[in-house]
Amino acid sequence: MKFTKMQGCGNDYVYVNGFTEKVNQDEKPDLVRKLSDRHFGIGGDGVIFVNPSDVADFEMEMFNADGTRAEMCGNGIRCVAKFVYDKGLTDETGITIVSAGKIKYLDLTVEGKENGNRGTVSKVRVNMGNPILKAAEVPVVSDNETVVDEEILVEGKAYKMTCVSMGNPHAVVFMQDVAHMDLEAIGPKFENHVRFPKRVNTEFVEILDRNTVFMRVWERGTGETLACGTGCCATAVACVLNGLTENQVTVKLLGGELLIEWDRENNLVYMTGPATTVFEGEV
């Protein structure tokens, strides 16, 4: 099976062309676990199959490293856009990609088109759609309709969280000295907390100024990753809801930076960031 290793801000996945590589659905979870293993496989935060679609230009079928399905990945979907353009599956710089039934609209920045060259994608802007704030739809267990700056007890310690879904559930926690926190210890406790019926991705965020934040993320089914696109979107929304930043925020991550804008008038979140091919191979 041929594959392409790609990353967006260090959030790395193994990409498989579902047009040409045929894998039985019931075999995919085990295959994903093997391919994602950084010691015995290719290594990545998961595997993404790029498939044909009847409702969009392409389908992104995403799996976490533990073999579970995931609804959306902001860094992953940018890399899918680069994958389909760079490999000649499309000539368009405005495309649609569906993941778990939700369609996203992407604008591709292509470099190197001079002298008759097609060029390659360097950056992608994604319309990530409406942030979901209703607690039952995130989902998060709460007596309130929305969860904004609400207390949660984790291992006997009280934290304040704001919960947002960007197609997948996020809990955003604001705190100081995020760089030195023991994420390996606290991340799994949030992920599997009883208040999150579908588990949760948790962002630990430090406000740097009105336009800049630093974030570390614990992703369900994977662990700490160098970046999380949907997590950055959820973080920007949470920042605005708590009055901590402006509507446009640069999110600094261990793997790079993403620019997030929440268009409050139309209730749409836009994410702009890089997409990079690391290497290709056959397994």
Give the catalytic positions in this structure.
73, 228
State which H helix or E strand residue 210 sits in: none
Closest C-alpha to 19, from 64, 72, 61, 55: 61
Please answer whether residues 252 and 214 qualify as being in contact, where contact means their C-beta atoms are separated by less than 8 angstroms.
yes
Sign of CA dihedral 178, 191, 64, 90: negative
DSSP notation for 139-186: T---SSSB-SSEEEEETTEEEEEEEEESSSEEEEEE-S-GGGS-HHHH
Please answer whether residues 206 and 176 qualify as being in contact, where contact means their C-beta atoms are separated by less than 8 angstroms.
yes
3-state secondary structure of 267: coil
Rounded Cα–Cα distance for residues 242 and 79 (Å): 31
Rounded Cα–Cα distance for residues 273 and 229 (Å): 9
CA 140 from chain centre, in angstroms, equals 19
Closest C-alpha to 238, from 164, 139, 167: 164
Please answer whether residues 63 and 70 qualify as being in contact, where contact means their C-beta atoms are separated by less than 8 angstroms.
yes
Closest C-alpha to 167, from 126, 145, 137: 137
